[in-house]
Amino acid sequence: MKLTLNIWRQTDANDAGAMHTYQVDDVSPDMSFLEMLDVLNEDLNAKDEEPIAFDSDCREGICGMCSLMINGEPHGPEVTTTCQLHMRSFKDGDTITIEPWRASAFPVLKDLCVDRSAFDRIIQAGGYISVNTGSAPEAHSVPVPRDDAMRAFNVATCIGCGACVAACPNGSASLFMGAKITHLGELPQGQPERDSRVTNMVAQHDHEGFGGCTNIGECAAACPKEIPLDVISQLNKDLRTAIKHGH
Amino acid sequence: MQRAGVGRGHDGPGGTGFIVFRGTGGRKITPYGSVGPGDQRYGASVAIQNSGPTLVQGARATQSTIFLKILMAASGAVFIAFVLLHMYGNLKAFNGHDAYNEYAEHLRELGTPMLPHSGALWIIRAVLILSLVVHVYCAATLWKRAKKARTVRYQVKKHTGAIFASRMMRWGGVTLLLFIIWHLLNFTIGKVNVTGGATNDPYNLVVDSFSTWWLTVIYLVAMAMLGAHLHHGIWSATQTLGLTNSDRTRKLAKNSAFTLAVVIAGGFSLVPIFVLAGVINK
Amino acid sequence: MTDMPDTTLTPDPSHVAEGHPSSDDAAGYYTPGTPLTDTKAPGGPIADRWQTRKFEARLVNPANRRKLDVIIVGTGLAGASAAATMGEAGYNVKSFCYQDSPRRAHSIAAQGGINAAKNYKEDGDSAHRLFYDTVKGGDYRSRESNVYRLAEVSVNIIDQCVAQGVPFAREYGGLLDNRSFGGVQVSRTFYARGQTGQQLLIGAYQALERQVAAGTVETFTRHEMLELIVVDDGDGPRARGIIVRDMVTGEIETHLADVVVLASGGYGNVFFLSTNAMGCNVTAAWRAHRKGAYMANPCYTQIHPTCIPVTGSHQSKLTLMSESLRNDGRIWVPKKKEDCDKDPRSIAEEDRDYFLERIYPSFGNLVPRDIASRAAKYMCDEGRGVGPEVDGVRRGVYLDFQDAIARLGKEGVEEKYDNLLDMYERITGENPYEVPMRIYPAVHYVMGGLWVDYDLQSTIPGLFVTGEANFSDHGANRLGASALMQGLADGYFVLPHTIRDYLADAPFEKIPEDHPAVVEAKQAVTERIEHFLTVNGTRSVDSYHRELGNIMWEYCGMERTEDGLKKAIDLIRSLKDDFYRNVKVLGTADSLNQSLEKAGRVADFFELGELMCIDALNRRESCGGHFRAESQTEDGEALRHDDQFAYVAAWEFAGEKPVLHKEELTYTAIEMKQRSYK
Ligand SMILES: Cc1cc2nc3c(=O)[nH]c(=O)nc-3n(C[C@H](O)[C@H](O)[C@H](O)COP(=O)(O)OP(=O)(O)OC[C@H]3O[C@@H](n4cnc5c(N)ncnc54)[C@H](O)[C@@H]3O)c2cc1C
Ligand code: HEM
Ligand code: HEM
Ligand code: SF4
Ligand code: F3S
Ligand code: FES
């Protein structure tokens, strides 16, 4: 198939950037979206035009490195990551608009690459259980009800891609944060730090310049790992509890 | 490595007065790059030169965006209680002139003799005014934050997963605020009778007002706005208060929100419609 | 074609004849060197060695630790766990990765699980049995004392991870669940659905970020190590730092330290198509190799049987389907060639050849990875492959879940494997609940890597190597679910103990940034970058990488021959020359430049590829993942030659002709046996 691509190009963080239009022919439906861009890049390289920078690593939907706003939807029209999106989701003759994640807390580095280190700092603020290596008790000393373990697992599958932020009209990272709060809060091991964890992570979130959540729900619809909105409720509840406990 | 520097947080709610630690990343770029209001964010005095991103110290849960949201939900809940009552009162119009005016008078008698005449009413008013101030302040602060959180807009953006009402909350709120101002002028403070009739009889004022077609239209539009605001707002409040952390409770909250919104907006709309239709008359 | 091919496997008869090659095929390609020994493993009973070493390794005073700088390259399981642990101990740690966050290291992609000798199922498991299985699985080409230690500390890993909040699968009673994995007879694999690597890495990542907040670790993301700094300050050379490129600004930075740890992962990407991430590279290890660290057994590559087949020339990587699928899925091809393009559902039961069950009745679909892979290759070479033809051959075999669905129900299968089958559907557009999946082998893991002693120290003092980047624990083949175990064992429990013996002599003399060794290293990096940007040739970096990968896959892949390997070496050499003269890298050095990043990596892959072929040429036996066609039994099984090749081949860099140092392998706690899975 043949496609028209409108792609955001920006040389570096200080450049204003603009949309450029490219044509690609010979796109096979079995290609992944990123392979389609690889082909375009080979073409550009041959024409002495610098290839388009975009992030990816695992290309199997688990590392969270790939991004891209595709026709107004983070990771495109399917519930998956951009690297796992295949061209069979598009039709011959389509025009596709490709933009970087837009959020002040995710500054654009170049073309379609953004800096998501704000997520790391949210985790630094408290997204962990404090246990030094070697000081752990025997794994079977604390049984965890299977349902709790399942819920913890389901939300721990967040890949930190940032699609939730990209989708949210408020530029909020609540879904990402809620997923971590719920993962750790669901386990007995996570209880001692529960109040301070939520307080610190939320403060860091706000400090990074993410917006406040107004429960719009576009984040969950964009999340490739289908993290549900309940995690945001859990986050709110945990914060409320923290306030009650004087944090 | 990362060592301190006392900085001011940004001007948003989460940051004021936090001690900020420097440099947890190897690279020297400001978190906002070229797109954001980088300098504003780290207030003035201790300019953190080349500052990498920073870690917040001494966080308080009550300074967070979520706390603002909790305040919004609480004030929103007051509004919901009020409009429910108010709607119930309005429907007395169907019982005719005397019943309606009695009800209005009864409001003023509420709590007497423990409270002076209109005492309870004033308490309600005080709570309402306070709620309004809180609600509007929080809404404005969050709005400002959201604007800063994305300064470059998308060329193409779909809104998958969002109901329209949710994206209208802010402008819907502004509309409601304007409506409330007009409404108070109309019925409480100014007592404006657009037909030029008497203003000292609540029932007659209502009937006169809604006999005017354009005023009815304004009210109906406002009620549509109110319905939308509540459709999202009620669900949103339960989510903000942390009552919906399962699939089941979320669905329940969303359905109840819709139902309540329809009941309230619909209930309010009945009186104007029936007045205009001539069913309710003097 | 008759009903049933009468061969078991189909060895090429021209190779079988001698069975035992005696001439030294590789003679002209290398220089023999002195023998190499591991001086760090204590003697005595194998079960006591680790305790002894831990006790003997000198301690570092807590007050001194703050003054010691540790560089750790890599944030996968091996690197993140080490950085967190060293940070907790109070060292000054600098942690590097090329991705935008430590959490994205390729360990995240591991699906199946992690082994540990917890014996929670009371099915006869023990550290000794895990040790035994690992050595046997590695075809007796791993170092016994290392493997024993790995098995011993495996139990601590699970405790640690659970305490960190890793949500392993649990039973209804709330206790941890286990499964048996990769044909092992005991259930010792812990798992978190099909995302075990992700959950373990997130645990290690969180521990790492906790230390960042505590101020003991500083992370450098989007920073690529391009050179090792080795300084001789009078008493011999020591690794003292690295040169990295900030991949966003292009700045070339120098980082100095008292010790350097490489946890930079595997180099499977030398094959271009592999299950590795796009950025996986050998650069960190190779640069160290060029500075004096020996590269051990580079040809040992694990080819994984259950990957999704290639669809066309646009393909950028291959996707693994977890091995656990072989527990319930049955592998088959049509008996008749003419059935190969039919809808598999229309092929009658008696026309299906469940070839693994047929050839290996006792292990069936659960034979080791190399055996399963080769068998699949033979079926396709024979013309009985399925799926689309790529370059004239159908490269795929069926992995069928119909029986499992009949037995467990669709829900049962869903619960056990859900995201794997979904992933398959997403990639291929076919529903595996209805149509059998198609699989084909792909490069997955490398057992080879930098040579290290029992302390995980390379031949350069002060350079430690952990995880997939070292060669140490898996011999010629790795058991499923053991790489995660090794990464975390190294990082949490081994390195932090062994490294202190080295650091007890630190702090070492301060090195100024204008020290000749630093200046030279930095200059080498700048010149290389400069070169790539100024060649201004005609071919893209990717096109070279793809071509190199094809050569490697063709001649140094599942089956290797003397002629093929020699041919490959010639091809690689001329392609490499062409690369340096004709590559085209646009953009600038001082900005984010992905072509430039790739150019550096591919340049190192060329040199590595050549060494892999030389190593494969030298090893005139079949063992584990390395199958020399000249060395097989009459019925086509791999034939090992313990009399000649029971050694680790450790290669020293010396330009065109590397120097071979042999570390003899001796086994005291286990008896060497020919592997048989029949
Ligand atoms: C698809 C797949 C599935 C697997 N499934 C399993 C399984 O089920 N069970 C199992 O036991 N094993 C499995 N493995 C193997 C296992 O995942 C890996 O061997 C292991 O995770 C490697 O960990 P590591 O820490 O050594 O390296 P990695 O996790 O690869 O980390 C390498 C790190 O080094 C950094 N790095 C590399 N080069 C540079 C450089 N030049 N400069 C700076 N930083 C650099 C990277 O940024 C990264 O942080 C699987 C592997 C794959 C590919
Ligand atoms: C006066 C002007 C008003 C403004 C500017 C305003 C604005 C907003 C905004 C921006 C929100 C947050 C949106 C969200 O959370 O999704 C909100 C929430 C809400 N509003 Fe209003 N609103 C106003 C008046 C009202 C009135 C009159 C009512 C009730 C009759 C009301 C009820 C609610 C409720 C229940 C919520 C949900 C609280 C929450 O999200 O937690 N608001 N409002
Ligand atoms: C069509 C619908 C409505 C009608 C007919 C109506 C009618 C009235 C009347 C007659 C009064 C004066 C009562 C008195 O002084 O005793 C009043 C007061 C008031 N109304 Fe409404 N109203 C309507 C909708 C609303 C809505 C939607 C809101 C809020 C969102 C609202 C908020 C108020 C407030 C705050 C007062 C002042 C109460 C006081 O302090 O005395 N009304 N309304
Ligand atoms: S919550 Fe979903 S969208 Fe957000 S970072 Fe995690 S995986 Fe991505
Ligand atoms: S879209 Fe945004 S407003 Fe909240 S529910 Fe999701 S973060
Ligand atoms: S590249 Fe890893 S998730 Fe897409």
In this model, does residue C240 exceed pLDDT 90?
yes
Q: Has residue B28 been placed in a domain?
A: no
Pocket flag, ligand 1, residue C75 (CB < 6 Å): yes
The amino acid at residue B57 is Q
Residue of C nearest to A49 (CA): C586
Residue of A nearest to C215 (CA): A124
Cβ–Cβ under 8 Å, residues C387 and C309: yes
Distance CA A129, CA B224 (A): 48
Specify the CATH number for the domain of residue C418.
Answer: 3.90.700.10
What is the model's pLDDT at position C83? Answer: 98
Nearest-CA neighbor of C108 among C197, C209, C191? C197
Pocket flag, ligand 5, residue A218 (CB < 6 Å): yes
- Helix or strand run (H / E) with residue C260: strand C259-262
Residue range C238-259: mean pLDDT, rounded: 98
Nearest-CA neighbor of C558 among C273, C301, C276, C275? C301
CATH class of A3-110: alpha beta
Residue of C nearest to B24 (CA): C218
What is the model's pLDDT at position B82? Answer: 95
Q: Which of A78, A83, A225 to mutate to test the pocket of ligand 6 (most atoms within 8 A of CB)?
A: A83
**Chain A interface, best mutation among B8, B32, B64, B147, by max A CB count within 10 A:** B64
CB atoms within 10 A of CB A216: 24
User: Band of the pLDDT at B16, cuts 50, 70, 90?
Assistant: very low
User: Band of the pLDDT at A61, cuts 50, 70, 90?
Assistant: very high
For chain C, how many structural domains are there in total?
2
Chains contacting C (3+ CB pairs below 8 angstroms): A, B
Q: Which residues approach ligand 4 with their CB closer than 6 A?
A: A 158-164, 175-176, 179, 222-225, 227
Q: If you measure from the C-alpha of residue B183 to the centroid of ligand 2, how many angstroms do you get, rounded to a whole number?
A: 18
Whose tokens are 């969950």? That residue is A220
Q: How far is B58 from chain C (nearest CA, A)?
A: 13
What is the model's pLDDT at position B52? Answer: 54
Catalytic residue chosen out of the listed positions C141, C179, C352, C369: C369
Cβ–Cβ under 8 Å, residues A116 and A160: yes
Residues of chain C in contact with residue B23, where contact means CB-CB under 8 angstroms, are 218
Which of C213-227, C348-362, C415-429 is predicted with the least confidence, judged by mean pLDDT?
C415-429
Residues of chain A in contact with residue B36, where contact means CB-CB under 8 angstroms, are 104, 107, 209
CB atoms within 10 A of CB A167: 30
Q: Which ligand is the nearest neighbour of the Cα of B100? A: 3
What is the model's pLDDT at position B83? Answer: 96
Domain extent for C333 = 304-444
Q: Has residue C88 been placed in a domain?
A: no
Q: If you measure from the C-alpha of residue B86 to the centroid of ligand 3, how many angstroms do you get, rounded to a whole number?
A: 7
Distance CA A160, CA A177 (A): 10
Residues of chain C in contact with residue B24, where contact means CB-CB under 8 angstroms, are 212-213, 218-219
Pocket flag, ligand 5, residue A230 (CB < 6 Å): no
Residues of chain C in contact with residue A190, where contact means CB-CB under 8 angstroms, are 165
Query: Domain boundaries in chain A?
Result: 3-110, 116-129+144-244
Q: Write the secondary structure of chain B as one string of H (helix), E (strand) and C (coil).
A: CCCECCCCCCCCCCCCCCEEECCCECCCCCCCCCCCCHHHHCCCCCCCCCCCCCEEECCCHHHCHHHHHHHHHHHHHHHHHHHHHHHHHHHHHHHCHHHHHHHHHHHHHCCCCCCCCCHHHHHHHHHHHHHHHHHHHHHHHHHHHHHHHCCCCCCCCCCCCCCHHHHCHHHHHHHHHHHHHHHHHHHCCCCCCCCCCCCCCHHHHHHHHHCCHHHHHHHHHHHHHHHHHHHHHHHHHHHHCCCCCCHHHHHHHHHHHHHHHHHHHHHHHHHHHHHHCCCCCC
What is the model's pLDDT at position B281? Answer: 86
Going from the C-alpha of A111 to that of each of A6, A10, A99, A246, B224, the distances in angstroms are 12, 5, 8, 45, 43
Q: What is the pLDDT of residues B225-254, one digit of tens each?
A: 999 999 999 999 999 999 999 999 999 999
CATH T-level assignment (fold) for domain A116-129+144-244 = Fumarate Reductase Iron-sulfur Protein; Chain B, domain 2 (1.10.1060)
Pick B112 or A204 by higher pLDDT: A204
Q: If you measure from the C-alpha of residue B127 to the centroid of ligand 6, how many angstroms do you get, rounded to a whole number?
A: 52
Pocket flag, ligand 2, residue B110 (CB < 6 Å): no
Chains contacting B (3+ CB pairs below 8 angstroms): A, C
Backbone angles phi, psi at C55, to 5 degrees: -70, -40
Q: Write the secondary structure of C2-13 as one string of H (helix), E (strand) and C (coil).
A: CCCCCCCCCCCH
Question: Is the Cα torsion angle C7, C13, C15, C16 positive or negative in sign?
Answer: positive
Distance CA C609, CA C299 (A): 9
Distance CA C347, CA C643 (A): 48
Residue of B nearest to A6 (CA): B155
The residue whose CA is least distant from atom 50 of ligand 1 is C110
Pocket flag, ligand 5, residue A214 (CB < 6 Å): yes
Orientation of helix A194-207 relative to helix B65-90, angle to 10°: 90
Cβ–Cβ under 8 Å, residues A234 and A173: no
Q: What is the pLDDT of residues B171-200, one digit of tens each?
A: 999 999 999 999 999 888 878 888 888 888
What is the model's pLDDT at position C194? Answer: 83
What is the model's pLDDT at position C16? Answer: 43
Residues of chain B in contact with residue A108, where contact means CB-CB under 8 angstroms, are 33, 35
Considering only CB atoms, B242 lies closest to which of A211, A222, A234, namely A234
Q: Has residue C654 been placed in a domain?
A: no
Q: Which of B86, B87, B175 to mutate to test the pocket of ligand 3 (most atoms within 8 A of CB)?
A: B86
What is the model's pLDDT at position C677? Answer: 73
What is the model's pLDDT at position B145? Answer: 96
Residues 121-160 of A with CB under 8 A from C: 123-125, 127-140, 142-146, 149, 152-153, 156-157, 159-160
On whether both C526 and C438 belong to a single domain, the answer is no
Pocket flag, ligand 5, residue A233 (CB < 6 Å): no
Q: Which ligand is the nearest neighbour of the Cα of B166? A: 2
| Predicted complex ipTM exceeds 0.90 | yes
- Mean pLDDT, chain B, integer: 82
Pocket flag, ligand 3, residue B67 (CB < 6 Å): no
Residue of A nearest to B158 (CA): A72
On whether both C434 and C328 belong to a single domain, the answer is yes
What is the model's pLDDT at position C19? Answer: 43
Phi-psi region of C608 (alpha: psi -120 to 50; beta: other; left: phi over 0): alpha
Q: Which ligand 6 atom is at minimum distance from the Cα of A81?
A: 4
In this model, does residue C23 exceed pLDDT 70?
no
Q: Which ligand 3 atom is at minimum distance from the Cα of B223?
A: 27
Residue range A142-157: mean pLDDT, rounded: 95
Q: How far is B59 from chain C (nearest CA, A)?
A: 14
Specify the CATH number for the domain of residue B91.
Answer: 1.20.1300.10
Residue range C417-432: mean pLDDT, rounded: 86
Distance CA A124, CA A117 (A): 11
The amino acid at residue A114 is V
Helices (H), C66-192: 77-89, 127-137, 144-164
**Chain B interface, best mutation among A19, A199, A236, by max B CB count within 10 A:** A236
Q: Has residue C383 been placed in a domain?
A: yes
High-pLDDT (> 70) share of chain B, %: 82
Cβ–Cβ under 8 Å, residues B118 and B109: no
What is the model's pLDDT at position C389? Answer: 87
Q: How far is A102 from chain C (nearest CA, A)?
A: 17
Task: Respond yes or no: is residue C104 known to be catalytic.
Answer: no
Residue range C218-234: mean pLDDT, rounded: 96
For chain B, how many structural domains are there in total?
1
* Cis amide bond preceding C298, omega within 30: no
High-pLDDT (> 90) share of chain B, %: 65
- Mean pLDDT, chain A, integer: 97
Q: C-side interface with B, Cβ within 8 Å? A: 92, 212-213, 215, 218-223, 246, 248-249, 253
Q: If you measure from the C-alpha of residue A119 to the centroid of ligand 4, how many angstroms do you get, rounded to a whole number?
A: 11
Q: What is the pLDDT of residues B145-169, one digit of tens each?
A: 999 999 999 999 999 999 999 999 9
Q: If you measure from the C-alpha of residue C166 to the centroid of ligand 2, how many angstroms do you get, rounded to a whole number?
A: 39
